[in-house]
Structure 1
Amino acid sequence: MFELPGSVRVALWATVVIGSGGDLAGVAPRALPDVDHVAGLLDRLTLWRDLGEGAVLVALPSAGHVASLPRTDDEARDAAVEAGEALYVAGIGGVLVPEHSTYGSSGRRVDWHAFDAEPVPVHRVEALSHRQLERDLLELVTTARDDLERVGGQPFADSLAREIADNRLGGAWGLPDALDDRAYRVITLAGTVGAAARIGTEHSGAIDARTAADRDATLLALARGADRLLADATNAACAQLAGWVPAR
């Protein structure tokens, strides 16, 4: 079953807990239930809340694609690109990057590392609309489908197609109940599309090297586009949960 990046879940749960005045110690168990040890998260979330931040936001950068990150130094940028995800806050600035490792013989551990960053204009987040993001996502998928048909090859096995369908019909995404239906739909669909595109690069079905290269380039572009829309959809939801904007 596909799962969303941990930073997506943490951003949403942290924003919900901050808005409700709840205990931030409950964020990690809700957002990262499959992680055995989490370090560095609670203290930074508490500091951000105490300094007046009402929303925790997410970036999903990759090599050469770092526009979603706030302006920061090379060390923070490189760490975020390596992790493929990061948390940040808009008002005071600041980035939090996860480092994944093993815990004991078979467990999982995530250490969160804090970096300085410049503030982000809140109006950029407030301008995001799930309605528009959903249209953008459907257009992205349609374009990728047409490109794959033109290129040839079969990037998804039948079993994978069934798994994608199962996730569309209902998956355990670990998201807060406070999300409205459209936000939930766009976030989970973007997460599914991105994960499926990456899995597709591992299941060639291509008959020659040129076809395989063209197909992989199309799928990589699809994955990156889905990541961008997933981050935007998450941040739009956090803006709603923080009371910055109404649902739209």
Structure 2
Amino acid sequence: MPELPASVRVALWVTHAWSGGTTLTHAIDRALPDVEHTEGLVEQVRVWRDLGEAALLVALPGPGDLHGLPRCGPVATDAAVEAGEAVFVAGLGGMLVPQVSTFGSEGALGLRIDWAEHDADPVPPHRIEALEPSQLERHLRGHLLSAIDELDRIGGTPWADDLSRDLLDDRLGADWALPDAMPERARKVIGLAGTVAVAAEVGLGASGAVTAAHDEERAAALRRLARSCEQTLADATNAACAQLAGWVPIR
């Protein structure tokens, strides 16, 4: 099964723990089951919780697109863009950026994530509270349908036949090992956005365009779709975290 970004999983599970749904240790284990060692995460989220934070939020920035990233210095911005993800808190301000590496000997490699702390400005709560999963879903579906029309116009085979037939099936991404307490609408949007993002990446790695020019045009369309999915994934995650934290009613 494809995995959601580590920061998405951490934001959801830590916020669930902060709301009393589980212990922080269990939350980290559930969020990062494939990671043998983490550094800098548990200590910082404990500090944030002790200082009154109730929601851990996520940003999935990309080159030239800082959507959802709190205002921060150039070093922090560059680190988040390079990683493609970060978690942050809105009230006090502050951000953690993951750096993934491996350790051990060949044939027995372990995965570790070091979380680097960076200063970041607070984020006005109304920006998070205004995120509505149903609107995010409509927006994403509109982008998806437009992308499919564009890819049909370009020609070639952007996906394997079985994947293209199932791309709009809501069953895809239904089981992502997320907290049971998550609002169902947000869970649905996260599953759809995560699945289509993976499908776009699969398409980028496939051949089948008619000409080199068509191949580049198709790749550009898939990159736009992937970026839209990443933005929706971050927004839907933050909407879910706002509800888990009790900022807004579950809807």
The TM-score, its normalising length taken from structure 2, stands at 0.94
Aligned counterpart, 1:24: 24
Mapping of residues 58-69 of structure 1, within 5 Å: 58-69=58-69
Aligned counterpart, 2:34: 34
Q: Which amino acid aligns with 1:153?
A: G
Percent of pairs identical after alignment? 56
Aligned counterpart, 1:187: 190
Q: Does 1:136 align with 2:139?
A: yes
1:117 maps to which of 117, 120, 123: 120
Aligned counterpart, 1:3: 3
- What is the alpha-carbon root mean square deviation over aligned residues? 1.7
Aligned counterpart, 1:127: 130
Q: Does 1:224 align with 2:227?
A: yes
Q: Unpaired segments of 5 or more residues in structure 1?
A: none
Question: What is the alpha-carbon distance in structure 2 between the residues aligned to residue 247 and residue 22 of structure 1?
Answer: 19
Q: Which amino acid aligns with 2:160?
A: A
Deviation, structure 1 residue 163 = 8.1
Aligned counterpart, 1:54: 54
Deviation, structure 1 residue 27 = 2.3
1:237 maps to which of 236, 240, 247: 240
Deviations 1:215-245 (A, max 9, x none): 0000000000000000000000000000000
Q: Unpaired segments of 5 or more residues in structure 2?
A: none
Question: What is the alpha-carbon distance in structure 2 between the residues aligned to residue 104 and residue 167 of structure 1?
Answer: 39
Deviations 1:37-74 (A, max 9, x none): 11110001001101110000000001101131100011
Deviations 1:57-111 (A, max 9, x none): 0000011011311000111111111111000000000010000000213211101
Aligned counterpart, 2:250: 247
Q: Which amino acid aligns with 2:209?
A: A
2:216 maps to which of 213, 217, 227: 213
Q: 1:3 to 1:164 in 2, by over 3 A?
A: farther
Q: Which amino acid aligns with 1:184?
A: R
Q: 1:28 to 1:137 in 2, by over 3 A?
A: same
Question: What is the alpha-carbon distance in structure 2 between the residues aligned to residue 192 and residue 141 of structure 1?
Answer: 12
Q: Is the 8 A contact 2:94 2:122 kept in 1?
A: yes
Question: What is the alpha-carbon distance in structure 1 between the residues aligned to residue 169 and residue 131 of structure 2?
Answer: 28
Q: Is the 8 A contact 2:173 2:191 kept in 1?
A: no
SS in structure 2 of the partner of residue 99 of structure 1: strand
The TM-score, its normalising length taken from structure 1, stands at 0.95
Q: How many residue pairs are counted as aligned between the two chains?
A: 248
Greater mean deviation of Cα atoms: 201-210 or 166-175: 166-175
SS in structure 1 of the partner of residue 19 of structure 2: helix
Q: 1:2 to 1:165 in 2, by over 3 A?
A: farther
Question: What is the alpha-carbon distance in structure 2 between the residues aligned to residue 116 and residue 170 of structure 1?
Answer: 34
SS in structure 2 of the partner of residue 20 of structure 1: coil
Deviations 1:145-190 (A, max 9, x none): 1111111111112354478689934654120000122111100110
Q: Does 1:148 align with 2:151?
A: yes
Q: Does 1:173 align with 2:149?
A: no
Question: What is the alpha-carbon distance in structure 2 between the residues aligned to residue 76 and residue 156 of structure 1?
Answer: 36
Question: What is the alpha-carbon distance in structure 1 between the residues aligned to residue 165 and residue 174 of structure 2?
Answer: 13
Q: Is the 8 A contact 1:88 1:95 kept in 2?
A: yes
SS in structure 2 of the partner of residue 168 of structure 1: coil
Q: Is the 8 A contact 1:2 1:167 kept in 2?
A: no
Aligned counterpart, 2:199: 196
Q: 1:136 to 1:53 in 2, by over 3 A?
A: same
Q: Which amino acid aligns with 2:231?
A: R
